[in-house]
Structure 1
Amino acid sequence: MPRPSSPILSTDLIADSAIALVDAGKPFGVNALARQLGVTPSSLYNHVEGRDAIVELMRGRLAVQSEIAVPEGLEWDAVVEYVVRSQRAMFAAHPLVLPLLVGKPVTDVTVLGYYEALAEALLSAGFPDDDVLVIVAVLDAFALGSGLDLSAPPEVWHADPASALGRLVSRGEPGRERADRAFDLGVELLLASLRARLATEEAALSNGAATA
């Protein structure tokens, strides 16, 4: 039986090829992806609705490959740390994909799943509804920035050696070591701030109940 003249398309193959195309720094689009796959654009449209749908396939594929699934039974702060660390690792592996992802609404069920787990953990801990979505956005921005930081040059600041910044740079850790330390400190500060905020909220509720 002769082999097919073009690859048998699937959403996973489309997503993987799109990720590889962007990771290589090549222009991304339906036509470019079709050429990469050796098929016609119309063949792609039999599987996806268009460019935005391909981007969302990429988002979901990255989450699946990164195996981001919040374990059950974790305390809220452990859920926060798990999601932030998992996202950072995922984003760091594909920094060129990030601009595509942040420009589109999240609809992939796998990705929405870990955001849902994060929101549920914060709500269950006692954070007010009005705060939770903002906290999720803050954590998201931190993970995105920290992921991109891993693709920064070893020396981020070229400052005058006689300046305060220049002196600190000369004594500081370069590259990945600096990025990892910055990320760990950021996680520590975020969690400390969230714990303090939650304690303040609980104290306010307790005082309100006592005076009622």
Structure 2
Amino acid sequence: MPRPSSPILSPERIADAAIALVDAGRPFGVNALARQLGVTPSSLYNHVEGKDAIVELMRGRLAAQAEIVVPSGLEWDAVVEYVVRAQRAMFAAHPRVLPLLVGKPVTDVTVLGYYEALAHALLSAGFADDDVLVIVAVLDAFALGSGLDLSAPPEVWRADPATALGRLVGRGDPGGVRADRAFDLGVDLLLTSLRARLSLDDHVVQA
């Protein structure tokens, strides 16, 4: 059987090549991706509708590789922590991909699946409908920022040692350790605040 004249494309192969292109800091677009894959742009368009569709393939591929599937039977706060920690790890591994992801609506079924599990857990816990989407957005922003923080330089602040900030920087933990401590504290603060809000809402309803 003769070999195909051009590489066989699949959603996974397209997504992997696109992620590699962006991770390397190279310009991203249909033409650049086609060159990366060794095919013509027209061949690529036979598999994807355009740049937005490629970005969504990337989103789904990252989620699939990260294996973000919320375990069943968790309490709502455990679901929140699971999703935030899993997202942070996924984002931290590919910080250059993030600006592309946040600029497009989420349509990938895998990603929508863990957002659905998060929304369902919050609603089942008793959070008001009007609050749930806002809480999800807050958690999203925290996970995104924490993921990017892991790619920050070891020395984030170069302050005068005579200032309060400079003194704290001089005594503080190095980059990755500081980022992990900040993330853990942030998770604790978010969960404490959400538990307090839920308790307050329960008291209001009972009154």
TM-score by length of 2: 0.99
1:109 aligned partner = 109
Structure 1 counterpart of 2:204: 204
Matched to 1:27, the amino acid is: P
Q: What's the offset of the Cα at 1:3?
A: 2.8
Deviation, 1:203, is: 0.6
**Partner residue, 1:37:** 37
Cα deviation digits, residues 108-144 of structure 1 (max 9, x gap):
0000000000000000000000000000000000000
User: Equivalents in 2 of 1:112, 1:95: separation in Å?
Assistant: 20
Unaligned runs of 5+ in 1: 208-212
Aligned to 1:127: 127
State whether structure 2 residue 199 is matched by structure 1 residue 194. no
- Work out the percentage of aligned pairs sharing the same amino acid: 85
- Between the aligned partners of 1:6 and 1:159, the Cα distance in structure 2 is 55
Partner-residue secondary structure (3-state), 1:131: helix
Letter in 2 for 1:173: D
Question: TM-score w.r.t. structure 1 length?
Answer: 0.97
List per-residue Cα deviations over 1:58-90 (Å, max 9, x = no partner): 000000000000000000000000000000000
C-alpha distance in 1 between matches for 2:185 and 2:142: 12
Taking the aligned partners of 1:157 and 1:9, their CA distance within structure 2 comes to 45
Q: CA deviation at 1:5?
A: 3.1
Q: Pairwise mapping of residues 41-120 of structure 1 onto structure 2 (< 5 A)?
A: 41-120=41-120
- Deviation, structure 1 residue 6: 1.8
CA apart distance, 1:102: 0.3
> Per-residue displacement from partner, 1:24-65 (whole Å, max 9, x unpaired)?
000000000000000000101111000000000000000000
- For residue 178 of structure 2, what is the amino acid of its counterpart? R
Letter in 1 for 2:146: S
Q: What RMSD over aligned residues (CA atoms) do the two structures have, in Å?
A: 0.6
Runs of 4+ in structure 1 off by over 3 angstroms are none
Greater mean alpha carbon deviation, residues 3-12 or residues 30-39: 3-12
Is 1:153 matched with 2:162? no
Q: Which residue of 2 aligns with 1:27?
A: 27
Q: Which amino acid aligns with 1:181?
A: R
